[in-house]
Structure 1
């Protein structure tokens, strides 16, 4: 079996979503997919201009105030014609509480629209992260009032990435 090339792209503001994307890329690579971690194909969404050389694409965006990060949305729109012809998975990150661990969180409206227009296979929402190292006044205020934390679950992220690997392997 030839190795399948997978692009993992992300739109983030303060690097928490990038961390999720990197973990997905590493897991896909460990599963034998060419998830171009080395050489890097875990890329910021604004750096993605052409997806034609990939057998699958994972695209994630941070959620802010119920909106998917503009960089991820624009990447999907810019590459829509080619994304429609390959398997695509979408993810969001954002809840800074344990809600993403307790139940499936449906995609926000803009992501649901992207799922439909791209015929995406699946969407998942992971917990986000706001810590004392996160820049910005709102982030600092949330942390100061005990509302921060890192709610990304590495095991859940890896499990989802393994699921993507299995689906791609079945597409021979």
Structure 2
């Protein structure tokens, strides 16, 4: 059985961080010891039995801290169970169908033998940082498209796999 899990994330405006916290909450409820940390704040994954990595999607790429985290820790990640999630579509598409990982995430999945990837809807609301975010909001395409029931269901599946090992 897996004892300690790291849930880490790259998040620019906090939406992906909230998804990561929801995932961590489900894993804790299932009896696992979990740390939820920003990807840039993780010095090592050596003390963790499993890792969940999440990244917000920006212009078809994972948020830079998530990308850097996977690159920096790829050797140790390849030695333990790993799951990825992305957040980003600013519409209902993530709730309607499976959205495959973007190319860079797909490559990272192969390098570290990720067990599963899922894409959740994103959230972009007033006050978001960045020029592109501002343009999206001004065009009226922002909003909160996260489905926390789907997030918690996915996290429960991760927990089931981890508690069986």
User: TM-score range with shorter-chain normalisation?
Assistant: over 0.9
Match of 2:161 in 1: 167
TM-score, length of structure 1 as denominator length: 0.91
Unaligned ranges ≥5, structure 1? 36-40
User: Relative contact order (alpha carbons < 8 A, sep ≥ 6): 1 or 2 greater?
Assistant: 2
Supply the distance in 1 between the matched residues of 2:66 and 2:136 (Cα, whole angstroms). Answer: 25
Match of 2:64 in 1: 70
Supply the distance in 1 between the matched residues of 2:49 and 2:130 (Cα, whole angstroms). Answer: 37
2:12, 2:129 within 8 Å by CA — same for their partners in 1?
no
1:46, 1:71 within 8 Å by CA — same for their partners in 2?
yes
Match of 1:20 in 2: 19
The equivalences for 1:84-163 within 5 A come to: 84-163=78-157
Match of 1:38 in 2: none
Please tell me the root mean square deviation across aligned C-alpha atoms, in Å.
Answer: 1.3
TM-score, length of structure 2 as denominator length: 0.95
Question: How many residues are paired up?
Answer: 165
Cα drift, residue 140 of structure 1: 3.2
Supply the distance in 2 between the matched residues of 1:43 and 1:78 (Cα, whole angstroms). Answer: 15
